[in-house]
Structure 1
Amino acid sequence: MPTQSKPIKPPQQLTPFGAALAGALGACFSNAVVYPLDVAKTRIQATSSNAKGKRKDDLTMLSVLLQIFKHEGIPGWYRGFAATMLNTFSMQYAYFFFYSFIRTSYIKRLAAKLPPGSPAPALSTAAELTLGAVAGGLSQIFTIPVSVIATRQQVGRSVKTASAIDEKSMLKDEEARGDDDSFVNVARDIIREDGVTGLWLGIKPGMVLTVNPAITYGVYERVKTLLLLAKLKAGSVDKLTPGMTFLVGALSKTLATVVTYPYIMAKVRIQARSPDADAAQDEGLLAPTSQASGQPRKVKNPGALGLLIRVLRREGISGWYQGMSAQIIKAVLSQALLFVSKEQFEHWALTIMLLFSTLTAKS
C-alpha cells in the first residue's frame, strides 16, 4: 500500500525570514518608483548652499532634476540605481529580519509571564522605539558599505569641486570619468582614498539615525492602533483603508524626518566627502603632512558633529535643514507606498514560502 505524504500546511503567519523578505521587496518597489527624487535630494544634501556660483534657487528638487536631465539625460536620473536597490533590499531585509525576530522574542517573553490564554501584550511606545533602534543598528553594521558606494554614484565626483551640480565641473567630470562610476570602480576608489574603513564612512551618524525607522514604525503602530480602536467602538470594520494607511504612513515618516534631518544631511556629506578642502583647512581639519613628501594633504573627516558645527558657522541653522523638503517628499512618498503595499508583499512572501516548502518536501 503506497504511503501517503502528509499534507503540507501553509504557514499561518510570516516568520522573521518572511517578514524580512516582504519588507525588502516592498521597500525596493517604493524606492524604485520615486528613484529620480532620491538622486535629486542626495545631490542637494551633498552640496553646500554657499558654494561658489550657487543660489538657493538652484538647489530645489525641480531645478536639480532639470539640471541632471539637461547634462546627463534620463540615465542621470537613475545613476547608481543598481547599487541603491541592492542597498535598499539588504538594508530593509536586515532591518525587518532583526526587528521581527527581536520583537517576536520580546513579546513571547512578556506573554510567558501572563496567565495562559491571555491576549498578547501590547508594547509601549518606548519599547517599540528601543526594539526598532536595536534592529536598525544591527542592520547598519552589515549594509553601510553598499550605502556609501550608492551615495558616491548618485552624486558623481563633481561633489569634490565647488558644487555637485555646477555645470562646468559636471561636464568636465563626466568627460574625465567616462564609465568609471561602476560599483566595483567606485569601491576601489573609496578604498584607495580612505582605506577599507572608508566603506564604513558615516557609520556613527548612521547609528544615530536608527531612531528614524524606530520613530516611523513606533508612531505608525501607535496611530494605527488608536484608529482601529476608534473604528471598533464605532462598529466599523477593523481594518484601515488604503487612503488612511497612506496618510498615517506619511505622518509618521514626516515626523521622523524632521526630528533626525540634520544627521541625515551630515551622513550624506560624510559619505560623499563633500566638505571642500579650503573650508577644512580654514578650521584646522587638515591632517599635517611633510612638504618634502610632495604628497597632497588629505582632508581629515570631522565627523557628523564637527560637520554640523561647521555648517552652522558657515550657513546658519538653515544649513542643517537644506534639502529637507526634498527629503520629506521622497521619504513620505516612498514610506507611504511601502505601508500601502506591505500587506500585498506579505501575501507574496507567504506564497513564496509555501512554494519553497512544497519544493523542499518533494525533493
Structure 2
Amino acid sequence: MSDALINGVAGAGGGIIAQILTYPLQTVNTRQQTDRDPSRSSSKEGTLKQMIKVVKHEGWGRLYGGLTPSLVGTAASQGVYYYFYQIFRDRAEAASLNRWKRGVGDGSVGMFQSLVVAAISGCVNVLLTNPIWVIVTRMQTHRKKKALPAPVSHSQDEAGQTAIVEPPPYGTINAVQELYDEAGIFGFWKGVIPTLIMVSNPSIQFMIYETLLNKLKKRRDSNMKGAGGITALEIFLLGAIAKLGATLVTYPLLVVKSRLQAKQGVEDKRQQYKGTCDAIIKMIRYEGLTGFYKGMGTKIVQSVFAAAVLFMIKEELVKAARLLVTGDVKLINVKLKSAR
C-alpha cells in the first residue's frame, strides 16, 4: 500500500469522526452565516441558545440535516486532499533532494513549497467535491415548515377533530432537485470561486502545523526521543492552534461561500446574490463589515475541535496502517519523520 493511499484513507477516517462529533455546531454556524437580516433576534443569540431553539421548534433531526451527504463529502474531501497532498509532497521532496545534490539548498521542503503543495491539493479537492457541499449547505439551512390544517374537504378525521398535515421530509434528493431547478448543472458549483480562494485556509493551517511540528521534533531529537516522543495530545494541540490561525484569516470568505450556496428564494433583491462580487458589495452596503463575521465564535469552536481531532486520529491511523503493512515500529517512526 502506497504512503499516499495510507494518508488518504487515514485522513478520510479522521475527518468522518470529527464531522460526526461537531455536526450540530456546523448546522448552527451555517444558519448564522446565511442569516441576512441583521435586525433578527437570532443574529444576537448564542450558539447554545440557537441549538436549543432548533431542537424545540424543528426537532433533533434538524441539527443533523444533511449529515449523510456531509459524511460522504468529508470522506471524499479528506481522502482526495491527503492523497494528492502526499503525492505532491513526495515530488516536492524529490525536487528538493535533487537541488541539494547539485549544491542548492539543504534538501528539505521549505515553508513556501509546503504552502504551494497544500494549495494545489486544495484546488483539486474543491473542484471535485464542491457539488456535495452545496447540497449540504442547502440541507443545513432548510427550516422545517410548520404543520398546517388539511384542506377543507378533508379537514376533520373520524373523531371530528381537525386533521393536521405534516410537511414532507426534506432530504438529499429534494436538495438536488431544488438546486437543479434553480440554477441547472452549474448550480452545483455555486460558491466555487470563494471556495477556491479559501484553499489558503488548509494551506495556512498546514504551514502553521508543520512549522510547529518541525520545531517540536527538533526539540525531541535534541532530547534523543525522536518522532516517537510526540504524543497524540501534542498532535491534538498543534492541530487546534493551526486551525485557529487559518480560520481567523479566511472566515469572511466562508460566509460569502455559504451565502451563495444557500437557497436564494428571498423576496428582497438586496439579499439575492448574482455572484461573489455582488455578494461582497451587498453585504458591505447593507450589513457592514460585521456581516462577514457572523457566527465566527461558533465556527472557531467547531473547526478548531474538529481539526484537532482529525490530526490526532489521522496520525494514529497512519501509524496503525503502517504497522499492519510493515510490522516494523522503527520504520513507522522513520516514515513519520520523513513525511513532514
Shorter-chain TM-score range:
0.7 to 0.9
Q: Does 1:44 align with 2:32?
A: yes
TM-score (norm 2): 0.83
CA contact (8 A) 1:68 1:76 kept: yes
User: Is the CA contact 1:20–1:92 (under 8 Å) kept in the aligned structure 2?
Assistant: yes
Q: 1:243 aligns with which of 228, 233, 236?
A: 233
Q: Which residue does the alignment assign to 2:285?
A: 313
C-alpha RMSD of the superposition:
2.6
Q: 1:353 to 1:146 in 2, by over 3 A?
A: farther
What is aligned with 2:146? 171
Change (3 A) 1:234 1:349: closer
User: Any conservation in 2 of the 1:43–1:154 contact (CA below 8 Å)?
Assistant: yes
Q: Give the corresponding residue for 1:214.
A: 203
Deviations 1:120-154 (A, max 9, x none): 83222111111111110011111110110111011
Contact 2:96–2:109 under 8 Å retained in 1: no
Counterparts of 2:265 and 2:202, CA distance in 1: 27
Note the C-alpha offset of 1:41. 0.8
1:228 aligns to 2:217 (yes or no): yes
* Correspondence for 1:65 among 48, 51, 61: 51
Pairing 1:75–2:47 present: no
**What is the 5 A alignment of 1:30-179?**
30-51=18-39, 53-58=40-45, 60-115=46-101, 121-156=107-142, 158=143, 170-171=145-146, 177-179=167-169
Decide whether aligned partners of structure 1 residues 217 and 114 sit closer, same or farther in structure 2, where only a CA change above 3 A counts.
Answer: same
Q: Is the 8 A contact 1:20 1:97 kept in 2?
A: yes
Offset of residue 65 of structure 1: 0.5
Spell out, residue by residue over 1:206-242, the C-alpha distance to the aligned partner (whole angstroms, 9 max, x if none): 1001111111111100011112212333455543233
**CA positional deviation for 1:319:** 1.2
- Cα distance between partner residues in 1 of 2:92 and 2:72: 30
For the residue of structure 1 that corresponds to 2:41, the secondary structure is: coil
**In structure 2, what residue type is equivalent to 1:38?**
Q
Q: Secondary structure of 1:121's match?
A: coil
**1:191 and 2:180 matched:** yes
Deviating beyond 3 angstroms after TM superposition, the runs of 4 or more aligned structure 1 residues are: 113-116, 234-238, 273-277, 347-354
Is the contact between residue 20 and residue 93 of structure 1 (CA under 8 Å) also seen in structure 2? yes
Pair 113,198 (structure 1): closer, same or farther in 2 beyond 3 Å: same
Specify the code of the residue in structure 2 equivalent to 1:216: Q
Contact 1:246 1:340 in 2 (8 A): yes
> CA 1:235/1:105 → structure 2, altered by over 3 Å: closer, same or farther?
closer
Q: Give the SS at the match of 1:113.
A: helix
**Structure 1 pair 274/189, CA: closer, same or farther in 2 (3 Å)?**
closer
Offset, 1:275: 7.9
The 2-side partners of 1:266 and 1:127 are apart by 28
Deviation sequence 1:93-142 (CA, Å, 0-9, x none): 111111111111121122233349xx983222111111111110011111
Counterpart code for 1:251? I
Question: How far is 1:178 from its partner?
Answer: 1.3
TM-score (norm 1): 0.78
CA drift of 1:318 comes to: 1.3
Q: Distance in 1 between the 2:106 and 2:232 partners?
A: 26
- Distance verdict in 2 for CA 1:201–1:235, change over 3 Å: same
Task: Find the counterpart in structure 2 of residue 202 from structure 1.
Answer: 191
What is the alpha-carbon distance in structure 2 between the residues aligned to residue 172 and residue 88 of structure 1? 33
Contact 1:41 1:323 (8 Å CA) reproduced: yes
Tell whether 2:258 aligns with 1:271. no
Name the CA distance, whole Å, in 1 between partners of 2:275 and 2:185.
17
Amino acid aligned to 2:255? M
Partner of 1:293: none
Question: Aligned-pair distance for 1:170?
Answer: 4.6
- Contact 1:16/1:96 (8 A) holds in 2: yes
For the residue of structure 1 that corresponds to 2:72, the secondary structure is helix
- Any gaps of 5 or more consecutive residues in structure 1? 1-10, 159-168, 282-298, 355-363
What is the CA distance between 1:274 and its match in structure 2? 4.9
What is the total number of aligned residue pairs between the two structures?
309
User: Which SS does the other structure have where 2:230 is aligned?
Assistant: coil
> Identity of paired residues, percent?
26
Aligned to 2:161: none
> 1 CA distance for matches of 2:263 and 2:290?
21
AA aligned to 1:255 is G
Q: Is the contact made by 2:73 and 2:132 (CA closer than 8 Å) also made in structure 1?
A: yes
Q: Counterparts of 1:120 and 1:140 in 2: how far apart (Å)? A: 33
Determine the structure 2 residue equivalent to 1:15.
3
- Counterpart of 1:336? 308
Asked whether the 8 Å contact 1:133–1:213 carries over to 2, the reply is: yes
